[in-house]
Amino acid sequence: MKARIRPLAPCALVWNYSETEPGFAALADACRAEGLVLIPVSPADTGRTISSLCGGPGPASAPALAGDWPAALIMNGLDRARLDGFLTRLRAGGVSIPLKAMVTPTNQSWTLAALLGELVQERDAFAARAGR
């Protein structure tokens, strides 16, 4: 018997960027245009895996993990050409989200908290190298 692995849904997980943000409508429009389901994630989701948040295997709930992270956008289901167009559309729409990532085979098993923490570390490392 062969195991069937369900692919993750094309989606965009958005953290700490609410519907009241000036660019939220542009974000929603860009997601619709690219066929991505926009999924707001909350502190209650920080213990869940990226896979489970994108409709893949994993628990539907997990204990929340503490952290204070800036706004983030985690995308799944875009190839390079579509990603470039999506990011251009976000900039044109005034969407200001400092942390961005693609779902990868490596990070899909991470918790949302772990991925957010890694994105903050990467941003800080780039800023330190740039002398900021």
Asked whether residue 99 is domain-assigned, the answer is yes
Longest dimension (CA), the chain: 56
Asked whether residue 118 is domain-assigned, the answer is yes
Tally of CA atoms within 13 A in the half-sphere of 73 that contains its CB: 23
Asked whether residue 2 is domain-assigned, the answer is no
Asked whether residue 6 is domain-assigned, the answer is no
Q: Would you state the structure tokens that stand for residue 91, as one six-digit string?
A: 């900039």
Asked whether residue 107 is domain-assigned, the answer is yes
Residue-wise pLDDT for 83-125, tens only, equals: 999 999 999 999 999 999 999 999 999 999 999 999 999 999 9
Residue-wise pLDDT for 46-78, tens only, equals: 999 999 999 998 888 888 888 889 999 999 999
Q: Which of 30, 22, 5, 9 is nearest to 84 (CA)?
A: 30
pLDDT of 60: 82
Please tell me the pTM assigned to this model: 0.91
Asked whether residue 5 is domain-assigned, the answer is no
Asked whether residue 78 is domain-assigned, the answer is yes
**Domain range holding 93?**
11-129
Q: How many domains does the chain have?
A: 1
Q: DSSP string of the chain?
A: ----PPPPPPEEEEES--TTSTTHHHHHHHHHHHTPEEEEE-GGGTTSBHHHHTTSSS-S-----------EEEEES--HHHHHHHHHHHHHTT---SEEEE--TTGGGSBHHHHHHHHHHHHHHHHHHTT-
pLDDT of 6: 58
Q: How far is CA 89 from CA 26, 29, 83, 119, in A?
A: 8, 9, 10, 22
Neighbours of 116 (CB within 10 A): 24
Asked whether residue 88 is domain-assigned, the answer is yes
pLDDT exceeds 60 at position 35? yes
